[in-house]
Structure 1
Amino acid sequence: MDNLVEIIVLLGGTAVIVGIAERVRLPYPVLMLIAAAGVSLIPSVPSLVIPPELILPLFLPPLLFATAMRTSWSVFRVRWRSLVLLAFALVVVTAAVAAGISLAMTQTITVAGAVALGAIVAPPDPVAVESVSSKVGMPRRLTTVLQTEGLFNDAVAIVIFQAAVSAVVAGQSVGWLIVPQFLGGAALAAGLGFAMAWLVGWLTALLPNLVARSSITVVAPFAVYLIADELHASGVVAVVVTALELGRRSRPQDYAERLARQAFWGIVELLVTGLAFGLMGMELELILTDDRIDIVPMLPAVVAVCTAVVVVRLLWMLGIQLMGGTENRTPVPGSFKETLVLSWCGMRGLATMALALSLPVDVSAGTPFPGRAFIIVTALGVLISTLVVPGLTLPLLMRLLQLPRDPHAGRRRDRALAKRAQEASLKALEEAPEWDDLPDEARKSLRRRILGLERMLSRDAERDPQAQAHIQEQLAAVQRIQRRALNAGREEILRARREPGVDPMVADRVLHRLDLRTVMLDR
């Protein structure tokens, strides 16, 4: 019961912290972490304990699914170099450097344990990065690179971590078999993601109830993650592929489901993120107050690993800049300022915490996991140094750097896509079978303002009851044409969303407005 009360308090506290964060212009996850750590230091407040094996399945699927739904396959086709250089290579290099430093500076850890530590501290968290970067006016081109990096680096880190922990338990060394293990697991997970997206599409086509259709997308990320985990595949890859494929399969007529899904996942993402960072704050308190853990002798190695994590990312980003950036058309990073921002946004989050907490206490009966306390303390140190410090200072850094931004770029992209939707809608209007039967005035009004015509016809029907039947026929024809036109506009935007070079977030904004106009017709 205590745990349930604490979860409810954390969820309610998230809403309060979000309001405070908006006023003080700071990222709410960072404030949530600090607030939870401070409150948990009060002696009468019990600590919330969630079984380690439940943390990844509970938190990763919804947060990754919500993030991946805002991107598209076309982004990955354009930004494949970001995936290779950041999500894969940088994670491996960071893990190797952290493992080497740990082995050199502490005697309580084995090689496999050091590799596990490296995997824990290596992957930046896409949820943490997005929640912080979205509040500071970061250029969209930088945010997109961070999102692309964050969606798959957890998969690489988790495979390395699981192989290292298995080696510790079995008393073996970490071998090169980890590479085919990752590739095979990723391939199987991708297949599961495609299959789950197909199953969700098939079920939603059968179900007439909107709530039932929307609920399937709630179950899907958890189900595919657990299935992948049971088959020793990558649950992270399975969830991301499911979300991307569902976005690709979205149809123009799914407007009500899209609106319901956007509203639901927006709430879920906010609350789950707040709960996750609240748990991090409580875990920090547990570490600080645990008499069995002597932190002072660990501090030099912990500081060295925290410093290495930041320095490796900075040097890697500098190398990418010298190589010409991650993209061909618009190099990112294209300047030292952008390199500094992308380096500062290497924030660790939920994956780091969850992997650290999922370390087994004992290798076997009576044999403790070697170096477990050091690994957990180091993971918390990396969380603080890469999340709290950058999260609190990123707004100041953005103001000092004054990155060149085009304040009208977003509006221009919106207008360009809106124009495409308008042209498709007008074409559908003129091709409608009822078009020629409408009066000239009605056709002109439809081109000018579709919803305005409906109000005009309704007023005419009230003034002339004898013409009401004829007016109602024209009104029904107008509504059919409006639906056909809006459907054509949505179809054009969905097609544009799948094109390389089109920002999915901009397409989603335009699509959202078209969906809302269609819902208004149904009332």
Structure 2
Amino acid sequence: MDIFTIITILTVLSAAFAFINTKFLKLPFTIGLMIIAIIFTLAIHLVGSVNPFILEEAELLMQSIDFETVLLDVMLSFLLFAGALHTKLDALKTQKAPIALFATIGVLISTFLIGTMMYFLFLVFDYPIDFIYCLLFGALISPTDPIAVLGILKDANAPKKLETKIVGESLFNDGVGVVVFIVIFKIAQQGLDSMSAGDVGLLFVEEVLGGILLGLVAGWLAFRLMKVIDNFETEVLITLALVMGISGLAQYLHVSGPLAVVIAGIFIGNKSPENAWSATTQNYVDKFWELIDVLLNALLFVLIGLELMIISLDGNYLIFGLIAIPIGLLARYIALAGPVAFFKKRLDFIPKTGLIMTWGGIRGGISIALALSLEAEMERELFLTVTYVIVIFSIIVQGLTIGPLVKRIIRKYA
């Protein structure tokens, strides 16, 4: 199946699901799309039991989509840039210390806690798995995805500083989480004996600092180009070229593309409105990236729902997935507890910040994409199913209940 046909089918399905959700279900946009996509997938399975041809064609479509490449190499950079572009530096500056700890130390602690607990869980069920593979799972499931929860937090009138923490953490922990996964993946491939602690540290530093440096340099160059012209068409094209250029360069230089895009987006979004863009240009740039954000999110969450067609529904795998849900939540709460306790009084955190950030830390497509990148000997099918169960629970259950939770806590402590 050619690429245009695949994109056409996904776009038509996304538009149809969006209409159904907007007209009838009235759920948060991305959550509604994914729920409808799952129902659609189950309906195809039901019809496929009568007419196998339909199910075979649907599975062929999903197998022809390289979800890992589509998300990590294409969608992720655009989604992160769109989010970073509207993230104000003033708000981040106030919360920079806890956000930095959440997105770095928090991700590392969560990775090791989840990996360790899953390792012993498998032992209890007499299903031993190498510890390094459990750590890989911990790394892929630790990054959080704010896309589905941001609109809900706004509807709940969540305090701005809470929203900033969740947005800031997720923008950066996506990049850091991918780097941690890459490092552990290389250790799993080559063996711990072939890599020293210095090699691991150097790889981590190269990915993180290299990504930050690339984002700053590329963002500054794009800003300088836009500053000397006043033409909204050209300036929109420059922002588009910036994202695509960073993605390509990051792969060539072996640095973190997600971090580079986030840094460039924050730089452009905070520097350009006052120093490079006219009011017309800013309006067009904002609308363009809002449209890109909506389109890619629609496609992403429909894809997540349709991925059910190629996920193994082995009973044991599903049980492990259900048990992994509280393990992931507990690990996240513990990982956030230290920074929350340390900065609680200094930065006047709202009550139950740790609880809200734990429940609001929704896992999304990045986790599925990383799980798909695992090799067969790394228990790919098992961890893919477990990841899918966590992501579905996270988006639907946590996504639909985080709003009422925030409102309840705000009323209680108002």
Does the TM-score normalized on the shorter chain lie above 0.5?
yes
CA RMSD of aligned residues (A): 2.7
Aligned partner of 2:302 in structure 1 is: 278
Determine the C-alpha separation between the residues in 2 that align with 1:309 and 1:317.
12
Aligned partner of 2:117 in structure 1 is: 101
Aligned partner of 1:347 in structure 2 is: 362
Determine the C-alpha separation between the residues in 2 that align with 1:208 and 1:81.
37
Structure 2 residue corresponding to 1:235, chosen from 248, 257, 266: 257
SS of the aligned residue for 1:137 comes to: coil
Letter in 2 for 1:38: I
> Does the 8 Å contact 1:66/1:265 carry over to 2?
yes
- Where does 1:502-517 land on structure 2 (aligned, <5 Å)? none
Higher share in helix: 2
Letter in 2 for 1:164: I
Letter in 1 for 2:27: L
How far did 1:356 drift? 1.2
Equivalences, count: 390
Residues 1:383 and 2:391 are matched in the alignment? yes
Aligned partner of 1:10 in structure 2 is: 10
How far did 1:255 drift? 2.0
> Does the 8 Å contact 2:230/2:277 carry over to 1?
no
Closer/same/farther in 2, CA of residues 103 and 316 from structure 1, 3 Å limit = closer
Residues 1:359 and 2:374 are matched in the alignment? yes
SS of the aligned residue for 1:369 comes to: helix
How far did 1:335 drift? 1.2
Residues 1:39 and 2:40 are matched in the alignment? yes
Letter in 2 for 1:371: E
Closer/same/farther in 2, CA of residues 304 and 162 from structure 1, 3 Å limit = same
Residues 1:396 and 2:404 are matched in the alignment? yes
Residues 1:311 and 2:312 are matched in the alignment? no
The alignment-based identity, stated in percent, is: 24
Residues 1:301 and 2:315 are matched in the alignment? no
* Alignment TM-score, normalising by the size of structure 2: 0.85
- Where does 1:189-208 land on structure 2 (aligned, <5 Å)? 189-205=211-227
Closer/same/farther in 2, CA of residues 279 and 322 from structure 1, 3 Å limit = same
Determine the C-alpha separation between the residues in 1 that align with 2:21 and 2:160.
22
How far did 1:288 drift? 4.5
Structure 1 residue corresponding to 2:281, chosen from 257, 270, 276: 257
Question: 1:19-72, CA deviations, whole angstroms, 9 ceiling, x for partnerless residues?
Answer: 555565522212212222222331326143422334201111111001101113
> Does the 8 Å contact 1:25/1:135 carry over to 2?
no
Structure 2 residue corresponding to 1:130, chosen from 130, 145, 150: 150
Aligned partner of 1:414 in structure 2 is: none
How far did 1:313 drift? 2.4
Determine the C-alpha separation between the residues in 2 that align with 1:92 and 1:322.
18
How far did 1:209 drift? 4.3
> Does the 8 Å contact 1:27/1:131 carry over to 2?
yes
> Does the 8 Å contact 1:102/1:109 carry over to 2?
no
- Where does 1:182-221 land on structure 2 (aligned, <5 Å)? 182-205=204-227, 209-221=231-243
SS of the aligned residue for 2:311 comes to: helix
> Does the 8 Å contact 1:353/1:379 carry over to 2?
yes
> Does the 8 Å contact 2:372/2:384 carry over to 1?
yes
Aligned partner of 2:51 in structure 1 is: none
SS of the aligned residue for 1:189 comes to: helix
> Does the 8 Å contact 1:64/1:127 carry over to 2?
no
Determine the C-alpha separation between the residues in 2 that align with 1:403 and 1:342.
17
Determine the C-alpha separation between the residues in 2 that align with 1:278 and 1:117.
24
> Does the 8 Å contact 2:37/2:305 carry over to 1?
yes
Aligned partner of 1:328 in structure 2 is: 346
Determine the C-alpha separation between the residues in 2 that align with 1:175 and 1:354.
28
Larger Rg over CA atoms: 1
Letter in 2 for 1:369: E
Determine the C-alpha separation between the residues in 2 that align with 1:313 and 1:103.
17
Closer/same/farther in 2, CA of residues 171 and 21 from structure 1, 3 Å limit = same
Determine the C-alpha separation between the residues in 2 that align with 1:242 and 1:63.
13
Letter in 1 for 2:265: A
Pick which of 23-32 and 341-350 moved more: 23-32
Question: 1:258-299, CA deviations, whole angstroms, 9 ceiling, x for partnerless residues?
Answer: 11111111111011011111111111232146xxxxx22234
* Alignment TM-score, normalising by the size of structure 1: 0.68
Larger RCO of the pair (alpha carbons < 8 Å, separation 6+): 2
